[in-house]
Chains A and B, each alone.
Chain A
Amino acid sequence: GAGVSQSPSNKVTEKGKDVELRCDPISGHTALYWYRQSLGQGLEFLIYFQGNSAPDKSGLPSDRFSAERTGGSVSTLTIQRTQQEDSAVYLCASSSGSNYGYTFGSGTRLTVV
């Protein structure tokens, strides 16, 4: 598609369950980013993928969070044993290889009850 696609757009889950969030970047974009946007907080960097290089995981808040990017395209962010503080909007962005020219998806709103 023409833009960055994220699914689901909304997800309500029970505390303790695992969730998977999906991001389909713009075709040809080598860089893919995950950010988290909590109420009253700025966008918080989570993880960065660039081509076939090892991902930059420095922003992942705990070992309950993981992400992978298959075939240099689609990415999945997995949160295990969800907690209420994980409730946020998870945004994915892609670019042609640098911090310039991000295209964001509309995000997945995760609510942990």
Chain B
Amino acid sequence: GQNIDQPTEMTATEGAIVQINCTYQTSGFNGLFWYQQHAGEAPTFLSYNVLDGLEEKGRFSSFLSRSKGYSYLLLKELQMKDSASYLCAADQTGANNLFFGTGTRLTVIP
């Protein structure tokens, strides 16, 4: 079967670093997406990992281990505006759609 697990909620302090983990089990795998979704707004694309390793993009980095079925999103120098839900999604071989996890709601506190 297919499954994606990520923590439901996390809290972190402004200026700190937070890591949001995602584990996945899919039948066929092309790559792993991370999206950011502020309350009441559209999800927006953050990153797409196909190969193993860390990809850095400004304050946000994303890591993938295909052999372990594991990814994480790393947010550095947290800002209040980073309070949002972070959605992990798998791009499965032969599928016309992405398979999403339930999302992690991150709250950044002063």
On whether the beta carbons of A42 and B101 are closer than 8 Å, the reply is yes
* CB within 8 Å of A: which B29-67 residues: 30, 33, 40-45, 48
On whether the beta carbons of B100 and A104 are closer than 8 Å, the reply is no
**Does residue A43 face the partner (Cβ distance < 8 Å to B)?**
yes
- The CA of A71 and the CA of B43, in the complex, are separated in Å by 26
Q: How would residues 80 to 105 of chain B score, 1 for a CB under 8 Å from any chain A CB and 0 otherwise?
A: 00000001010100011111111100
- The CA of A107 and the CA of B40, in the complex, are separated in Å by 8
On whether the beta carbons of A42 and B42 are closer than 8 Å, the reply is no
On whether the beta carbons of B43 and A91 are closer than 8 Å, the reply is yes
Question: For chain A, what secondary structure do more than half of its interface residues adopt (helix, strand, loop), or is it mixed?
Answer: loop
**Does residue A106 face the partner (Cβ distance < 8 Å to B)?**
yes
**Does residue B4 face the partner (Cβ distance < 8 Å to A)?**
yes
Q: A41-B102, A48-B96 are in contact. Are A99 and B91 (CB under 8 A)?
A: yes
Which residues on the A side are within 8 Å of B100 (C-beta)?
35, 42-44
Min C-beta distance of A76 to chain B, whole Å: 19
- The CA of A35 and the CA of B102, in the complex, are separated in Å by 13
- The CA of A52 and the CA of B101, in the complex, are separated in Å by 30
Min C-beta distance of A10 to chain B, whole Å: 10
On whether the beta carbons of B42 and A107 are closer than 8 Å, the reply is yes
Which residues on the B side are within 8 Å of A48 (C-beta)?
96-97
Measured CB to CB, the residues of A under 8 A from B are 3-4, 33, 35, 40-45, 48, 50, 56, 59, 91, 99-107
